[in-house]
Structures are given as C-alpha cells and as structure tokens.
C-alpha cells in the first residue's frame, strides 16, 4: 500500500463520504492487516444523529468483536453482515497488495434501521473511490515534493531529497537515481541511492552493471521487484529513477500504485531536475575553466619536472572525483611523484601503449564480467615528440561524453608541452651543473700532484655528486688478476683485494667501457665488495691499458640515471689523467732523490733529511760505511761485479733498518745511514748487524768499515750537518786504519 495507512485513508474517506447519503449515521474505520483499528470517523454529514450509540476506539482489535473483519482478512473478499445483537450492518473492504496480501481493511458500521439500500453493492462500488483517493494522495504528495525540490542548489542535494522522500512514501526497498547519457544509457559514476552500505557494492551499482550500455526504457522487472522510470525533458534524457528491492527483502513487491507514483513524480520533477543540472553544468564549466586556467598557469610557470608531474596527477581527481590518474613516461624523471614506465613487451598492448603508439586519446572498457572499469589514456605531446601517457581509470565502468574526453586531451597536450619545457630546462641546469662540477674537478686536480690528496678528493666528489651509499677507486696491478682498493667512502674497505673475474669487473675489462647495472628487483647484484642493486663503474685507462676503476654503488633499485653514467665517464677521464700525472711526478721525485744504481737516497737528500732532524729531534745517530778493498774487487772481478757487490751491500743495509731511517749513497763505494731519535748504543747494534750481514751474505765476499757519530740537543746545541758528517768520517778513517771490518764510535 502506498504511503502511510492513516494518510491514504484520509484521502479515500473524503470521496467515500461524498458518496454517502446525507443524514445517514455510521462509522467509517480503517484497520491494519492484524485487525487493529488505526483510524475512524463518523459518516453522517451535519449534526450527529448517532442514536444507536455506535463507538470505536483506537488500537483496539476489532476482530475480537466483529468476525466479519476476520473473514475479510482471510478471504480477501468484500464481506457484509448484519449483527443480530447490535442490529447493525457491518461491511469490510480489504485493500490488497500486488502479491495478494491484505495490508489493511476499510470497514463500515451502519444501523440497520437507517439504511434503505444494499450495503454490499455499495461496498463493491468503493474501488474507484479508493483509486480516486490514491490519485489525490499521489497528486498532493507529488506537488509537495516538487515544491521542496526548488529549495536545493545542486543536483546532488535535489536527488538526495527526492529519493529520500520517495523512499519514505513507498516504505519498502530503496530508491535510487542514476544519470543518463545523451543516448539514454546509464552513467554509473553519477548516482544517488537511499541504501546504506558500509562496505561492498551497493544494490544500485549491481543493477547499473547489469544494464550496461542498454538504453533505459520505462519497465517493471524481476517479478515487480524492480521499477525503472527514465526522466527526460523535451526528449533530453536526464536521470533514471529506480525502485528496487534488495535480495534480503523477500516478502514484498511493488504494485501499480507505486509505479504510478514514481511515474508521476518523474514527470513533475523533470523541470526542477533539468534546472539543477543546467545550473550544475554552468558551475562545473566555470569551475573547470578556472581550475584549468590555474593548472595551466602553474604548469607553464613551473620549470621543475616534479612540480609539473605533481600538478598533472593531482588535478584529475579534483576535476573528476571518480577517476584516478597515473603517468606512464618514456623518460626517467628525477622526481618524487610516482610514475610508471611504458611497456612495449606485452602480447596484447595496453590502453596506455596504444595511446602512445597512435598518438591520440583512447578510451576502453577493461576487465571481465562485472569487474569492468573504464580506462582513458591521452598522450603527453610535445614539439619534439611524445613523452608519455596520462592514464585515468575509474573504479567501475563509466561513460564520459566527448566534451569531457576533449578536456582530458587538452590537459594532456598542455601538460606534455610544459613537461617538455621543464625537461629541457632541467637538462640545461644539469648540463651547467655538470660543466661546473667538471671545471671544479679539473681545477682541483690540477692544483695537486699528491696521489693521496687526489684520491681523497675524487672519492669525496663522487659521493657528493651522485649521493650514493658507496664510492671507491680501485687500482689494477699489471700481471695480477685482482684490484686493490686505493680509496673508498668507507675507510674500512681501503686496501681490500677484489678478484677481477667478478662479473662487473670482467665486463669492464673485456669492453674497456663504462658499465651501468640496475637490478630489476630480484635481489642484490653479484658484487662481493658492497651489497647493492645499482652499480656504475668506469675504467681508468692509461696508454690503452686499464689501470684502475672508479665505481659508485647503492642498495636502491634504479638509483642511477643515464646522465649520472655519462658524468661518471667524464670523472673517470679527469681522474685517470690526474692520477697518471701524480704517479709520474712521484716517480720523477723519486728519481731525483734516489741513486740510480743502488736504489738508496742521494747524498743531497740525506743532507736535507739530517738537517730537518737536527731542527726538530732531540738526538740521532749517523753511520758512514765504506766497502773494504773495493778497488781490489773491481780490479779482480771487473766493474760490473763491483756494481753487483755495491747493490748487494745496499740491499742488506735497507733490510737491516727501519722505514723511518734514511740510507743513502755517500759517494763511490761509501754509504751512509742516518738513524733519527736513536741513541749511540742502539746505533752501534744496527751498525754491527749491517757489518755481520755484509760479511756473511755477499758474493764475492766483502767486508765493511763503519764510522758512527751521535748527537744530542743538550751536548751539541749548534751542531751542523757538515760537523756531524765530519765526526763520522773521522771514526770511519780510524776503523779503516785499525784493521777494517769493524765499527768505531766517534
């Protein structure tokens, strides 16, 4: 039964009373399906003449007193009986639903002596009067609802009010409204429903998916459990109104009165609905234009790639809340906004791939069965090419008109141009930055010929430039299948040895080219020195041969770009040249201060080192050494053997002293050893050790004579280098005159 029983009864009673003869007493009443009195009224027009004392009370079960009500409820037929006890004629007219159930009963109690016609015939004639009451009720509530609709500013508010009021009046199932496209098909994303669902899919969403792209027509479906009424104005489709019973409501259906009410409200609400839609469209267009203007202003003014990408991704949901945006790019932007890479390896090209390859907007339905969603892909076009695809996806199948598709296409085109400009600007900035880095690197490297200083500078610069977790410089020793870590950003790794057969080094050695590796996500790369997923290595080439490797590594996937790879190549070229220059400089310095035959320091270098020790140390010792009878060795064995003997003695001296001691060729067969911060007793032991080694290990056997001089700051305040050597020379002279092969202290 449509509406509340009491309300409908009041409209029906108006027509019944008009047909009732004047001055005929009686009571007209209404019961629910259980026989309980809901409402009643006297039927006599004018002053009451209830001489029979007819009475009824609310909420009293009349079935307990009058069995004709019980009979009408059970038989679903009109029942008229005369009560012998009260001398009243009783009539009951059951109001049946579409499914045959009795929802209410309209009853009459009339004194028998006051009625002069057949009440049974009169009751059978009530049906059109009841219909007239329903029609009046429908007209009244429809007018009230339409008047209320004019108070709402937006279509959504109007539809929420409309569906809520319809649902309150129908009092069963749910009421929903879904927007119609120009071809009268449903637009799923624009719907309103009275169903309250905390999670999962609403019933109307299931129905919309079921209708798909079918043109919506007035219809009653599913055995009167679904009523569809499209609303249009001047043949322009607006919305479709749905009355639908969810699966859990199994005990009711919709009847013809429900359908009539929905049709009436659909016809009368069309003007108000059209006005709200037009108003929304105007506001939406103004908002779109304003948002588009602001968006384009931001994009065109931005020279940061990340800002451009962020504006693109966030603008779509603000324009279309039911859409989500994704970016597929063919380049690698150094940006924090999530982007995806276009894939061309698919057997069946995706929507985004098609849009990129065809260079136009493509809209498709993707998925299977009821899980279909709408995917729209628009290429990011620039003057120099296509940089990617802007893809928008709905959470369900939707319908976008051509105007909205054009809007997305314009946004993608403008974003593509802005992205291109930002990319070009970013590339220019990167190029300037790289040139500055290269210039600074070359300047710093040219300032120093110290190898350690160069290594430290290059390592620090690589770490700062690439922001990697690990940087290192490795040296390859000729003839060895390994690399030695000369310098690294982790000092504990310095000096480590790495097998050159490891995959990264093997590729670098084979190709003599820089290497960029990025693990696709299956775990770390095969590199024993540092666990990483991204790796760059550049060979240091000297005269066509690899002398070392610059490398940077990081545990993050795809951490290095191609620009980083090219920049590291340039770093490698400069670093290789600087390191070669430093090595050559060190070699030249070594040659200047080193005797060519013996490998010991020169006399000049010895003098400088002794002079430095006299200035800063508190004491020290000097040993002068002369090979006994060296002229005899030359005369007997030849000068070549004499040179070999001199080399043997020099090597024995070098192995008998500390690294901090200084051994030099004094001149001819005379050698010298300066022991800084060594007292005379220790120096004497060192001299004796050298003498014994020479006597025992030379071939042909020779002996040496040693003169030892010591000094201390307390005893020799103004001692000079020449004076110290003079003392040692005197002691040596005495050792030679005293029989040779001995150590004499000055």
What are the structural domains, with CATH classification, of the chain?
5-136 (3.30.450.40), 171-281 (3.30.450.40), 302-426 (3.30.450.40), 448-586 (3.30.450.40), 594-745 (3.30.70.270)
Residues 6+ apart with CB under 8 A from 64: 35
**Nearest alpha carbon to residue 296 among 423, 421, 392, 424:** 421
Residue 95: CB atoms within 10 A of its CB come to: 22
Q: What angle do CA 674, 677, 683 make, to 5 degrees?
A: 55
| Distance separating alpha carbons of residues 175 and 595, to the nearest angstrom | 106
Per-residue burial over 687-719, b = 16 or more CB atoms within 10 Å of its CB, e = otherwise: beebbebbeeebeeebbbbbbbbbbeeeeeeee
pLDDT of residue 299: 66
Token pair of 119 as six digits: 């009440």
User: What tokens appear for 697 in the block?
Assistant: 């290990």
- For residues 130 and 12, the answer to whether their CB atoms sit within 8 Å is yes
- Torsion sign, CA atoms 190, 195, 200, 203: negative
Helices 305-319, 256-301: axis angle to 10 degrees equals: 160
User: Cα 258 to the chain's mean position, in Å?
Assistant: 51
Q: How confident is the model at residue 469, as a pLDDT?
A: 87
Where b means 16+ CB within 10 Å and e means fewer, 207-241 reads bbbebeeeebeeebeeebbbbbbbbbbeeebbbbb
pTM of the shown model:
0.46
Give the angle subtended at the CA of 437 by the CAs of 435 and 441, to the nearest 5°: 115
Nearest 5°: phi and psi at 343?
-110, 130
Is the separation of the CB atoms in 180 and 237 below 8 Å?
A: yes
HEC string of 309-356 equals: HHHHHHHHHHHCCCEEEEEEECCCCCCCCCCEECCCCCCCCCHHHHHH
Q: What is d(CA 706, CA 623) in angstroms, rounded to the nearest whole number?
A: 6
Q: What are 574's two structure tokens?
A: 């400069």
Give residue 50's pLDDT: 44
pLDDT of residue 53: 43
Q: What is the mean pLDDT of each run of 10 residues along the chain (746 residues)?
A: 64 80 81 81 60 49 65 85 78 79 83 79 82 79 84 88 88 90 86 80 85 89 91 91 89 83 88 88 78 71 70 75 80 63 74 86 75 82 82 76 78 78 74 72 68 76 82 80 82 82 80 75 73 84 78 82 79 72 65 82 90 91 93 90 93 92 90 93 94 93 94 84 92 92 91
Cβ–Cβ < 8 Å for 645, 627:
yes
Which residue bears the tokens 């026989």? 35
Q: Are 76 and 100 contacting, i.e. CB atoms less than 8 angstroms apart?
A: yes
For residue 29, report the phi and psi dihedrals to the nearest 5 degrees: -140, 165
């Amino acid at each position: 039964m449509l509406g509340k029983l009491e309300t409908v009864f009041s409209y029906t009673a108006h027509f019944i009373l008009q047909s009732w003869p004047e001055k005929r007493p009686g009571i007209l009443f209404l019961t629910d399906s259980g026989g309980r009195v809901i409402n009643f009224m006297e039927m006599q027009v004018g002053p009451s003449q209830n001489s029979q004392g007819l009475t009824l009370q609310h909420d009293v079960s009349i079935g307990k007193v009058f069995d004709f009500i019980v009979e009408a409820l059970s038989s679903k037929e009109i029942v008229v009986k005369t009560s012998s006890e009260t001398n009243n004629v009783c009539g009951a007219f059951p109001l049946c639903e579409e499914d045959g159930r009795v929802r209410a009963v309209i009853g009459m109690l009339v004194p028998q002596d006051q009625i002069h016609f057949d009440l049974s015939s009169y009751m059978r004639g009530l049906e059109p009067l009841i219909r007239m009451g329903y029609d009046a009720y429908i007209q009244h509530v429809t007018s009230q609802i339409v008047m209320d609709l004019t108070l709402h500013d937006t279509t959504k508010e109007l539809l929420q009010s409309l569906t809520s009021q319809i649902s309150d009046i129908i009092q069963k199932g749910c009421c929903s409204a879904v927007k119609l496209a120009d071809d009268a098909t449903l637009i799923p994303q624009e719907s309103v429903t009275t169903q309250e669902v905390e999670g999962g899919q609403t019933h109307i969403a299931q129905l919309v998916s079921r209708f798909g792209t079918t043109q919506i027509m007035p219809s009653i479906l599913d055995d009167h459990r679904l009523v569809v009424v499209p609303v249009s104005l001047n043949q322009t489709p607006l919305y479709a109104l749905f009355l639908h019973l969810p699966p859990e409501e199994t005990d009711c259906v919709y009847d013809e009165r429900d359908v009539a009410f929905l049709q009436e409200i659909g016809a009368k609400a069309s003007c108000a609905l059209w006005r709200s839609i037009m108003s929304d469209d105007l506001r939406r267009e103004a908002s779109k234009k304003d948002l588009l203007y602001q968006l384009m202003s931001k994009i065109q003014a931005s020279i940061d790639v990340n800002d451009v990408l962020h504006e693109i991704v966030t603008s779509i949901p603000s324009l279309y809340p039911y859409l989500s945006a994704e970016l597929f790019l063919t380049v690698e932007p150094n940006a924090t906004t999530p982007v995806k890479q276009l894939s061309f390896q698919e057997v069946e090209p995706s929507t985004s791939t098609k849009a990129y390859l065809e260079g136009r907007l493509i809209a498709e339905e993707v998925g299977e069965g009821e899980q279909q969603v709408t995917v729209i892909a628009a290429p990011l076009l620039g003057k120099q090419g296509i940089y990617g695809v802007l893809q928008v996806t709905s959470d369900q199948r939707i319908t976008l008109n051509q105007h909205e598709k054009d809007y997305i296409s314009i946004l993608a085109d403008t974003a593509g141009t802005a992205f291109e400009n930002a990319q070009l600007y970013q590339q220019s900035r990167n190029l300037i930055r790289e040139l500055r880095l290269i210039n600074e690197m070359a300047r710093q490297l040219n300032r120093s010929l110290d190898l350690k200083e160069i290594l430290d500078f290059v390592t620090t610069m690589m770490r700062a430039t690439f922001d990697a977790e690990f940087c290192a410089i490795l040296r390859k020793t000729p003839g060895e299948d390994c690399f030695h870590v000369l310098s690294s950003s982790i000092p504990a790794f310095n000096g480590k040895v790495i097998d050159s057969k490891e995959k990264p080094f093997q590729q670098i050695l084979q190709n003599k080219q820089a290497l960029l590796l990025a693990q696709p996500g299956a775990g770390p790369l095969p590199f024993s020195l540092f666990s990483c997923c991204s790796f760059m290595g550049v060979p240091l080439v000297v005269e066509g041969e690899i002398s070392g490797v610059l490398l940077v590594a990081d545990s993050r996937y795809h951490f290095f770009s191609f620009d980083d790879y090219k920049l590291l190549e340039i770093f490698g070229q400069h670093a290789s040249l600087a390191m070669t220059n430093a090595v050559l400089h060190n070699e030249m310095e070594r040659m200047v201060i080193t005797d060519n035959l013996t490998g010991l320091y020169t006399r000049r270098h010895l003098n400088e080192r002794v002079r430095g020790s006299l200035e800063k140390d508190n004491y020290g010792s000097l040993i002068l050494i002369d090979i006994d009878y060296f002229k005899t060795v030359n005369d007997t064995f030849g000068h070549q053997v004499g040179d070999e003997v001199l080399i043997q003695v020099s090597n024995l001296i070098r192995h008998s002293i500390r690294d901090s001691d200084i051994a030099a060729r004094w001149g001819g067969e005379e050698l010298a050893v300066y022991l800084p911060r060594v007292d005379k007793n220790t120096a004497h032991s060192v001299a004796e050790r050298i003498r014994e080694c020479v006597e025992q290990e030379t071939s042909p056997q020779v002996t040496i004579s040693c003169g030892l001089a010591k000094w201390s700051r307390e005893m020799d305040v103004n001692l000079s280098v020449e004076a110290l050597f003079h003392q040692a020379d005197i002691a040596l002279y005495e050792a030679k005159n005293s029989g040779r092969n001995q150590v004499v202290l000055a």
